Amino acid sequence: MLTVRELLAKKGSQVWSVSPDATVYEALQLMAEQNVGAVLVMSGRSLAGILSERDYARQVVLKGKGSRDTPVREIMTTRLVCVAPERTIEHCMALMTENRIRHLPVMAGEALVGLLSIGDVVKAVISEKQFLIEQLEGYIATSG
């Protein structure tokens, strides 16, 4: 089974982040530039929260706030679900489904080492299953 560490080694551990004092507009600009659906919120080296497109829609748009004058700290999600690098991709999928989240910070102790999206996890699971299918087809072809 593929681990989070192995997936990060393949996809890279680049993480996009903003400070809690950044404006929501600045965070949205970064998300658009990097084509991502969320950014982590870092207070120094500490993970303070995550800001997603969902947070923006629910906490700014629906409440009539302005993205240029609202600080990230006011709308970010602070109840974070994180995963350790040793965990399996299947575990990540279960966590994301159970908690209804699309992004999963990867923490090695207190250190942030990466971020997985639901797309990363689904792609990895499909790739693993495809490999298994190919192996089974090869086995059947040679033993039949």
Which residue in 142, 75, 105, 129 sits closest to 8, CA to CA? Answer: 105
* pLDDT at position 144: 61
Q: Which range, of 49-53, 77-81, 98-102, 140-144, averages the lowest pLDDT?
A: 140-144
What is the rounded average pLDDT of the residues 55-62? 90
Q: Considering the chain, what is the average pLDDT of its residues?
A: 93
According to CATH, the superfamily of the domain at 4-143 is CBS-domain (3.10.580.10)
- pLDDT at position 37 over 80: yes
* pLDDT at position 34: 96
Report residue 31's pLDDT band, with 50, 70 and 90 as the boundaries.
very high
Q: Name the residue ranges covered by the structural domains of the chain.
A: 4-143
